[in-house]
């Protein structure tokens, strides 16, 4: 066994088995020159030759794997604890070491940094042969796999370090070894690809910095003396949303746990609707309009600012229903830290966004926003760079007025306002406890519209008030803001990746000058390590590969707006996203998915050509063809997911149900009172878990819910009664009852606390399978809808009415 | 054997029913229970599953100087109880004079009951100011005052407070609102006023009005068996749990003077 192992290593290092120890040592550092390859003879040998490195690699890797996983694995696993220290104990020791006082000595520090810099430089720039690169990868990989098992934040930093090292090594290699390109067109494309890659490395590293040490700030309790609590104005801006959407928000705001004489609620109605005025009067809140609609939401808020007087201003988008504890959770920090100008809480959505709905991942896989509100904001908070997100936040009036109110120069007024506050030296805070919840955007087009706005706004800020420039920001604040802005520029790089292999498959352009196997050997560690590091820091907030899915789907739409805003920040218009819509029948959004259908077509075509070049014609560089085929295949899966998202699933309910187990009581006509629990609630009814006890659909009854010890009773009618479930619909609620209902349900302090408990854990390999299935499903759905579309057209042609309303 | 007395200054507010169902609730929680009826109405047995009120009870043998603890019965839920029994007019009059002369009459005789390990004694009595009720007050370790969320309770609250003021200063008690029909706004308002007036002395969770209570009485069945989903049962289980947490009901009975 041992001898065979030595022979294997020897063969690769170019050392005969019986060589002296010196030669062994020498060969560990210096490899013999590879023999010059002779010209390929015929197709068969050419094929063999070009595939050789890959086959070679594959057999080696395969054997390595078998060796790892095989029976030998078990004794090793048993031996491992004796050979390697226990990761948990080691981590404890490391953390103690990190806090050692002598680490603070400037000389020592400088020395350590200098040595680290030199080693890093060597590790990044030393060119390796393929085999050496494999060894290097195996080394970093085993280190990472071991460190991964250590708990705590320090090991996460180690993983980040490894990932950065490997990625920089790849970048260096790409920049120095692979750019000798021939024709001008190849040069252009090659450099384009490199730029796109540089962008992703930059974002990767910025992201690591941003989230290296999530602060996880806890709320500070308020003083017991209520007289010290400040006055608060709640702003609920609205423009064109229906009253039904705004009512719960206002009623919940009225129930906030705060002295009533210190709390004022304002509906800021840019739609100037009589209905809203009446509602405000009935609900006992203030109502405000303005003569114009300049600067949309920002202008609306700014109009109200000079007319109101609370020491603090909380802002809730009109569909974000606050929990009663919102002020209790957030105000403490203001009283403790006088420089604190803003406290933000997460945006939480209790309905599925189009990704979640159309891909069936609701509450199973962290959604697009989860990363930002779960991790990025906590990371920002560490660098005192928490962004204002426009809603579910509270600001100190003084500083806000000092920066001229809400910023109006860009379409993302919120981020820009926070930037201005930070420039003035104010700090901001993030409390990662959901304190409000709302409806997610209903349709993909709405979702895309919103993301376009964010992307445009960020591009605008980047141009108008670049966080790298100007005064007042710390270095890390600059980095955090830059990442927030730059990461919206992923559109073009992503499109580059989605089409890069095609230049080779279609036109035989070589845009990376390297052997396919070498590319694989450098790219693979980069991908694997960044995934290991990200899985560690982002695990619960973004599953492996999902960033690619989200970006791929949105890339096309945001590419143009960001570019235009980058060139001329003043072009374009603000758009308000529609909420509360209904998808009556599932349909395929042909309009929005057109670019993706084109991308799919050309990638499929490229894939076909690649298969041809693999086996039938021009078969002289199969290695490269294979690599490009794999790449195209991956792209096709991502595009499949994009297509899948464009298939709008039927959505029947206008009011979304929130799963929750709350005690409830039914009072029946016959005088009985039944105790039960809710399964879910919505604005319009309850799902109850209750062995059916003579209850029939249509029965009129009273339902009780509790808010703390206080019982509230609601008139209702039974709509479903089967098995262990009874569904009731509220009927004729008075305004008070409606308010009580909100208080008993959406506005409960802890109602969103357990939201993510049933989420799947992140398993990178399972995730890969899932993405694979998602991609395939996209094509399946596409085929289905193509069939349907064809049928419809046929029906229309033959004069029969279409079964489905087509939508533009 | 700690003793829990349910008393009230209102008639028909559900004391006897509560004694029976609380007994079931305590048994469900694994506690031994002895329900003692100290009310000439002689109806506790009906609440505990008997189809007719028993002729024989514990009071007349006691008055006759006989072995009166033999009168104890036990129902299918393993609730032990002592029915009052039918008492002739002359006997009743004799008892009433005895009670009038001796405030500790009941307490003294109850200490003669053979010891049941850690069992809880539930005492049922007619409304105050009857002598029977005053006897249970004197005998109890913990007093559960039963009220309703209506104008009657509120009107008689001052009288009740007067009674409560006569208790020993360390005598623990709590007020329970029974038969709440929360669907009636007026009852909710009365409840709120009562809770405000009584403060922490009022249990935060009332027992709801529930037809299941009367149905189980009418059918001689246990609420627990026949109406497991009933709200009144749920409330009673909660009340029983709360009472178990009271120090006065945890250990042995106070030594009566
Ligand atoms: N929670 C309740 N819900 C409905 N009916 C009840 C409830 N509690 C008691 N009752 C009914 O009220 C009536 C009077 O109860 P009872 O226990 O005899 O009162 P008391 O002993 O105070 O005179 C009975 O018919 C009983 O079934
Ligand atoms: Mg009675």
User: What was the ipTM of the complex prediction?
Assistant: 0.92
8 Å CB contact between B250 and B3:
no
The question of whether A414 is a catalytic residue gets the answer yes
Counting the structural domains of chain A, the total is: 2
The answer to whether residue A582 is domain-embedded is no
Q: Is A14 left (phi over 0), alpha (psi -120 to 50) or beta?
A: left
The answer to whether residue A677 is domain-embedded is yes
8 Å CB contact between A53 and A627:
no
Poorest-pLDDT segment among A571-585, A599-613, A621-635, A708-722:
A571-585
Band (pLDDT 50/70/90 cuts) for residue B64 is confident
Q: How far is A742 from chain B (nearest CA, A)?
A: 18
- Kindly state if the Cβ of B232 falls inside 6 Å of ligand 1: yes
The set of residues, in sequence order, having a beta carbon less than 8 Å from that of A674 and lying 6+ positions away, is A665, A666, A668, A690, A693, B229, B230, B231
8 Å CB contact between A104 and A98:
no
Structure tokens at A312: 């603090």
A770 vs A263, residue with greater confidence: A263
Residue A651 pLDDT greater than 80, yes or no: no
Average pLDDT, chain B: 90
How many C-beta atoms surround the C-beta of residue A402 within 10 A?
14
The answer to whether residue B96 is domain-embedded is yes
The answer to whether residue A90 is domain-embedded is no
pLDDT digits (tens, 9 = 90+) for A426-468: 999 999 999 999 988 877 878 888 888 888 889 899 999 999 9
Which residues in chain B are contacts of A670 at CB distance < 8 A?
A: 211
Q: What is the CATH number of the domain that holds A420?
A: 3.90.550.10
Residue A318 pLDDT greater than 50, yes or no: yes
Residue A579 pLDDT greater than 90, yes or no: no
The answer to whether residue A345 is domain-embedded is yes
Poorest-pLDDT segment among A662-671, A717-726, A775-784:
A775-784
CA A129 – CA A725 distance, rounded (Å): 67
pLDDT digits (tens, 9 = 90+) for A183-201: 899 999 999 999 999 999 9
Final residue of a structural domain among A400, A424, A440 = A440
Q: How far is B209 from chain A (nearest CA, A)?
A: 7
Q: Which residue in this structure is represented by tokens 């930059």?
A: A202
Angle of the A444-464 helix axis to the A413-423 helix axis, nearest 10: 30
pLDDT digits (tens, 9 = 90+) for A107-127: 888 998 999 999 999 988 888
B185 vs A594, residue with greater confidence: B185
CA A13 – CA A633 distance, rounded (Å): 35
Poorest-pLDDT segment among A28-42, A62-76, A593-607, A624-638:
A28-42
Q: CA–CA distance from A52 to each of A168, A264, A313, A515, B17 (Å)?
A: 28, 75, 68, 11, 90
CA angle B136–B139–B141, rounded 5-degree value:
110
pLDDT at residue B199 in the model: 93
Counting the structural domains of chain B, the total is: 1
Instruction: State if pTM tops 0.90.
Output: no
Q: Is residue B145 classed as helix, strand or coil in its secondary structure?
A: strand
pLDDT digits (tens, 9 = 90+) for A143-184: 998 888 888 888 999 999 999 999 999 999 998 888 888 889
Which residues in chain B are contacts of A702 at CB distance < 8 A?
A: 183
Final residue of a structural domain among A392, A423, A440 = A440
- Rounded to a whole number of angstroms, the distance between the first and last alpha carbons of chain B is 16
pLDDT digits (tens, 9 = 90+) for B236-248: 999 999 999 898 8
CA B55 – CA B69 distance, rounded (Å): 15
pLDDT at residue A800 in the model: 45
Band (pLDDT 50/70/90 cuts) for residue B16 is very high
Q: Considering A269, A270, A317, A319, which one is annotated as catalytic?
A: A270
SS3 per residue for A600-651: HHHHHHHHHHHHHHHHCCCCCCHHHHHHHHHHHHHHHHHHHHHHHHCEECCE
8 Å CB contact between A113 and A160:
no
Q: What is the CATH number of the domain that holds B122?
A: 3.40.50.300
CA angle A117–A118–A119, rounded 5-degree value:
95
Q: How far is B23 from chain A (nearest CA, A)?
A: 20
Q: Is A508 left (phi over 0), alpha (psi -120 to 50) or beta?
A: left
Structure tokens at A366: 């962290």
Task: Note whether B229 contacts A709, CB cutoff 8 Å.
Answer: no
- Kindly state if the Cβ of B223 falls inside 6 Å of ligand 1: no
pLDDT at residue A48 in the model: 54
pLDDT at residue A63 in the model: 57
8 Å CB contact between A10 and A19:
yes
Could you tell me the residue range of the domain that residue A340 belongs to?
226-440
pLDDT at residue A140 in the model: 93
For residues A549-554, give the mean pLDDT: 87
Band (pLDDT 50/70/90 cuts) for residue B257 is very low
pLDDT at residue A760 in the model: 78
- Closest alpha carbon to B147 in B4, B3, B2, B18: B18
Which H helix or E strand runs over B62? Answer: helix B59-63
The best mutation among B8, B11, B17 to test binding of ligand 1, ranked by most ligand atoms within 8 Å of the C-beta, falls on: B17
CA A26 – CA A102 distance, rounded (Å): 38
Mutate to test the interface with A, among B210, B215, B228, B235 (most CBs of A within 10 A): B210
pLDDT at residue A101 in the model: 84
CA A479 – CA A72 distance, rounded (Å): 47
- Kindly state if the Cβ of B213 falls inside 6 Å of ligand 1: yes
The set of residues, in sequence order, having a beta carbon less than 8 Å from that of A170 and lying 6+ positions away, is A522, A523, A525, A526
For residues A723-751, give the mean pLDDT: 94
Residue A54 pLDDT greater than 80, yes or no: no
Q: CA–CA distance from B17 to each of A59, A280, B27, B40 (Å)?
A: 82, 48, 15, 16
pLDDT at residue B69 in the model: 81
pLDDT digits (tens, 9 = 90+) for A207-264: 999 998 999 999 999 999 999 999 999 999 999 999 999 999 999 999 999 999 999 9
Mutate to test the interface with A, among B231, B232, B239 (most CBs of A within 10 A): B231
For residues A608-621, give the mean pLDDT: 86
Strands of A292-392, DSSP E: 312-315, 321-322, 340-344
Mutate to test the interface with B, among A662, A672, A704, A715 (most CBs of B within 10 A): A672
**Chain B CB within 8 Å of residue A89 CB:** no
Task: Note whether B233 contacts A671, CB cutoff 8 Å.
Answer: no
SS3 per residue for A183-239: CHHHHHHHHHHHHHHHHHHHHHHHHHHHCCCCCCCCCCCCCCCHHHCCCEEEEEEEC
CA B193 – CA B206 distance, rounded (Å): 13
Q: Is residue A307 classed as helix, strand or coil in its secondary structure?
A: helix
pLDDT at residue A95 in the model: 83
Q: How far is B62 from chain A (nearest CA, A)?
A: 41
Residue B121 pLDDT greater than 50, yes or no: yes
8 Å CB contact between B200 and B174:
no
A250 vs A570, residue with greater confidence: A250
pLDDT at residue A618 in the model: 77
Which ligand has the shortest distance to the CA of B126?
Answer: 2
Residue A801 pLDDT greater than 60, yes or no: no
Angle of the A491-507 helix axis to the A546-567 helix axis, nearest 10: 100
Of A671, A676, A709, the CB nearest to B229: A676
**Hey, which residues does A688 pair with through a beta bridge?**
A678, A726
What is the secondary structure of A109-177 as a DSSP string?
Answer: HHHHHHHHHHHHHHHHH----HHHHHHHHHHHHHHHHHHTTS-SHHHHHHHHHHHHHHHHHHHHHHHHH
pLDDT at residue A477 in the model: 96
Per DSSP, helices labelled H in A669-734 are none
8 Å CB contact between A256 and A334:
no
For residues A550-554, give the mean pLDDT: 87
8 Å CB contact between B138 and B123:
no
**Chain A CB within 8 Å of residue B187 CB:** no
Q: Which residue in this structure is represented by tokens 């030759």?
A: A49
**Chain A CB within 8 Å of residue B238 CB:** no
pLDDT at residue A802 in the model: 37
CA A666 – CA A730 distance, rounded (Å): 12
Of B183, B212, B234, the CB nearest to A672: B212
Which H helix or E strand runs over B242? Answer: helix B231-244
Q: CA–CA distance from A152 to each of A91, A142, A159, A537, B41 (Å)?
A: 8, 19, 12, 10, 71
Q: How do beta strands A685-689 and A673-681 pair?
A: antiparallel
Residue A703 pLDDT greater than 90, yes or no: yes
Structure tokens at A15: 């050392």
**Chain A CB within 8 Å of residue B198 CB:** no
Final residue of a structural domain among A744, A760, A777 = A744
- Kindly state if the Cβ of B218 falls inside 6 Å of ligand 1: no
Q: CA–CA distance from A760 to each of A437, A778, B114 (Å)?
A: 22, 22, 60
In degrees rounded to 5, what are phi and psi of residue B160?
-60, -45
The question of whether A699 is a catalytic residue gets the answer no
For residues B192-209, give the mean pLDDT: 93
The answer to whether residue B257 is domain-embedded is no
What's the sign of the alpha-carbon dihedral A102, A108, A113, A115? negative
Q: What is the CATH number of the domain that holds A729?
A: 2.40.10.220
The answer to whether residue A558 is domain-embedded is no
Q: How far is the CA of B144 from the centre of ligand 2 (A)?
A: 14
For residues B244-256, give the mean pLDDT: 71
CA A377 – CA A541 distance, rounded (Å): 12
Task: Note whether B230 contacts A667, CB cutoff 8 Å.
Answer: no
The answer to whether residue A127 is domain-embedded is no
The answer to whether residue B255 is domain-embedded is no
- Closest alpha carbon to A646 in A579, A577, A578, A600: A600
Task: Note whether A675 contacts B204, CB cutoff 8 Å.
Answer: no
pLDDT at residue B208 in the model: 97
Which ligand has the shortest distance to the CA of B20?
Answer: 1
pLDDT at residue A515 in the model: 86
For residues A773-784, give the mean pLDDT: 87
For residues A554-570, give the mean pLDDT: 85
CA A442 – CA A648 distance, rounded (Å): 10
Poorest-pLDDT segment among A213-217, A308-312, A644-648, A679-683:
A644-648
Q: Do you know the residue count of chain B?
A: 257
Residue A576 pLDDT greater than 90, yes or no: no
pLDDT at residue A660 in the model: 92
**Chain A CB within 8 Å of residue B102 CB:** no
Q: How far is B89 from chain A (nearest CA, A)?
A: 39
Of B182, B209, B232, the CB nearest to A711: B182
**Chain A CB within 8 Å of residue B231 CB:** yes
Q: How far is the CA of B177 from the centre of ligand 1 (A)?
A: 12
For residues A697-713, give the mean pLDDT: 94
Could you tell me the residue range of the domain that residue B96 belongs to?
3-249
Average pLDDT, chain A: 85
Per DSSP, helices labelled H in A339-474 are 354-359, 368-371, 377-382, 397-402, 413-423, 444-464
List of long-range contacts for A465-469, beta carbons under 8 Å, 24+ apart: A465/A409, A465/A416, A465/A419, A465/A420, A467/A419
Q: How do beta strands B80-82 and A658-659 pair?
A: unpaired
CA-atom Rg of chain A in angstroms: 30
């Amino acid at each position: 066994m041992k001898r065979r192992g030595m022979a294997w290593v020897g063969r690769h290092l170019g050392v005969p088995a019986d060589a002296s120890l010196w030669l062994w040592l020498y060969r560990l550092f210096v490899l013999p020159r590879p023999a010059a390859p002779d010209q390929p003879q015929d197709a068969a040998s050419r094929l063999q030759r070009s595939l050789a490195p890959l086959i070679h690699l594959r057999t080696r890797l395969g054997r390595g794997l078998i060796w790892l996983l095989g029976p030998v694995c078990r004794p090793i696993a048993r031996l491992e604890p004796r050979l390697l220290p226990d990761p948990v104990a080691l981590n404890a020791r490391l953390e103690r070491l990190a806090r050692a006082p002598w680490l603070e000595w400037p000389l020592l520090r400088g020395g350590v940094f200098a040595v680290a810099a030199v080693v890093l430089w060597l590790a990044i720039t030393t060119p390796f042969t393929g085999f050496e690169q494999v060894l290097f990868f195996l080394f970093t990989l085993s280190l990472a796999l071991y460190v991964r098992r250590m708990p705590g934040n320090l090991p996460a930093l180690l993983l980040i370090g490894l990932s950065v090292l490997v990625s920089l090594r790849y970048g260096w290699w790409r920049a120095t070894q692979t750019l000798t390109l021939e024709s001008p067109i190849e040069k252009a494309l090659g450099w384009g690809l490199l730029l796109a890659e540089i962008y992703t490395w930059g974002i990767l590293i910025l992201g690591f910095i941003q989230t290296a040490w999530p602060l996880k700030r806890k709320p500070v309790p308020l003083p017991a003396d209520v007289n010290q609590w400040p006055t608060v104005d709640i702003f609920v801006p609205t423009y064109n949303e229906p009253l039904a959407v705004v009512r719960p928000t206002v009623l919940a705001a009225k129930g906030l746990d705060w002295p009533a004489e210190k709390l004022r609620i304002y509906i800021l109605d840019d739609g100037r609707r009589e209905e809203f005025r009446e509602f405000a009067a009935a609900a006992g809140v203030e109502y405000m309009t303005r003569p114009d609609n300049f600067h949309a939401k920002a202008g609306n808020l700014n109009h109200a600012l000079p007319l109101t007087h609370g020491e603090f201003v909380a802002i809730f988008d009109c569909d974000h229903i606050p929990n009663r504890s919102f002020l209790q959770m957030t105000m403490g920090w203001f009283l403790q830290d006088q420089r604190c100008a803003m406290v933000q809480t997460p945006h939480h959505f209790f309905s599925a966004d189009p990704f979640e709905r159309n891909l069936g991942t609701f509450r199973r896989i962290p959604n697009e926003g989860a990363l930002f509100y779960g991790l990025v904001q906590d990371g920002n908070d560490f660098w005192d760079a928490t962004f204002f997100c426009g809603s579910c936040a509270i600001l100190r009036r003084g500083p806000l007025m000092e920066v001229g109110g809400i910023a109006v120069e860009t379409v993302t007024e919120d981020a820009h306002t926070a930037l201005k506050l930070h420039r003035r030296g104010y700090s901001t805070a993030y409390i990662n406890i959901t304190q409000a919840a709302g409806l997610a955007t209903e349709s993909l087009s709405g979702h895309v519209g919103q993301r376009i706005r964010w992307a445009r706004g960020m591009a605008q800020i980047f141009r108008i008030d670049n966080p790298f420039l100007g005064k007042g920001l710390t270095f890390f604040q600059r980095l955090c803001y830059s990442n927030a802005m730059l990461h919206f520029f992923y559109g073009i790089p992503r499109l580059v990746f989605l089409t890069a292999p095609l230049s080779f498959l279609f036109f035989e352009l070589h845009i990376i000058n390297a052997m396919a196997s070498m590319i694989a050997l450098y790219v693979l560690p980069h991908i694997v390590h960044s995934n290991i590091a990200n899985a560690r820091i982002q695990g619960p907030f973004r599953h492996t590969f999902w960033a690619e899915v989200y970006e791929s789907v949105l890339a096309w739409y945001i590419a143009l707006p960001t570019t235009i805003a980058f060139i001329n920040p003043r072009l374009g218009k603000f758009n308000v996203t529609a909420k509360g819509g209904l998808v009556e029948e599932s349909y395929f959004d042909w309009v929005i998915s057109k670019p993706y259908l084109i991308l799919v077509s050309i990638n499929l075509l490229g894939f076909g050509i690649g298969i041809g070049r693999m086996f039938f014609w021009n078969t002289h560089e199969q290695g490269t063809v294979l690599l490009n085929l794999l790449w195209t295949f991956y792209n096709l899966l991502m595009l499949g997911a994009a297509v899948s998202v464009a298939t709008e699933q039927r959505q029947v309910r206008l009011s979304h149900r929130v799963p929750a187990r709350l005690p409830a009581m039914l009072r029946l006509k016959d005088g009985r009172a039944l105790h039960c629990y809710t399964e879910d609630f919505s604005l319009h009814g309850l799902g109850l878990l209750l062995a059916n006890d003579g209850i029939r659909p249509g029965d009129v009854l009273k339902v009780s819910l509790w808010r703390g010890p206080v019982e509230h009773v609601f008139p209702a009618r039974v709509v479903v009664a089967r098995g262990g479930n009874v569904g009731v619909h509220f009927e004729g609620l008075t305004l008070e009852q409606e308010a009580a209902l909100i208080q008993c349900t959406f506005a409960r302090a802890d109602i969103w606390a357990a939201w993510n408990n049933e989420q799947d854990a992140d398993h990178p390999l399972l995730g890969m399978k899932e993405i694979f299935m998602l991609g395939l499903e996209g094509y399946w759905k596409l085929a289905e809808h193509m069939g349907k579309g064809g049928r419809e057209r046929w029906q229309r042609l033959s004069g029969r009415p279409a079964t489905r309303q087509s939508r533009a | 054997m700690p003793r829990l007395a349910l008393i009230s200054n209102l008639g028909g507010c559900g004391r006897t029913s509560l004694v029976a169902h609380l007994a079931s609730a305590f048994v469900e929680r694994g506690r031994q229970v002895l329900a003692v009826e100290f009310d000439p109405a002689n109806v506790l047995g009906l609440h505990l599953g008997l189809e007719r009120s028993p002729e024989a009870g514990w009071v007349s043998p006691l008055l006759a100087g006989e072995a009166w603890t033999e009168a104890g019965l036990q129902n299918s839920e393993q609730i032990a109880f002592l029915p009052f029994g039918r008492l002739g007019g002359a006997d009743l009059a004799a008892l009433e004079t005895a009670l009038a002369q001796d405030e500790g009459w009941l307490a003294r005789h109850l200490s003669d009951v053979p010891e049941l390990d850690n069992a809880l004694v539930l005492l049922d009595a007619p409304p105050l100011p009857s002598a029977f009720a005053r006897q249970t007050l004197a005998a109890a370790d913990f007093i559960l005052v039963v009220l309703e969320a209506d104008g009657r309770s509120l009107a008689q609250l001052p009288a009740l407070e007067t009674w409560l003021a006569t208790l020993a200063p360390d005598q623990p008690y709590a007020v329970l609102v029974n038969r709440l029909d929360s669907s009636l706004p007026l009852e909710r308002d009365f409840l709120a006023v009562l809770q405000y007036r009584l403060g922490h002395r009022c249990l935060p969770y009332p027992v709801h009005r529930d037809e299941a209570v009367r149905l189980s009485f009418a059918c001689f069945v246990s609420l627990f068996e026949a109406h497991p989903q009933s709200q009144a049962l749920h409330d009673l289980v909660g009340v029983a749990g709360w009472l178990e947490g009271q120090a006065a009901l945890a250990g042995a009975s106070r030594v009566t003077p």
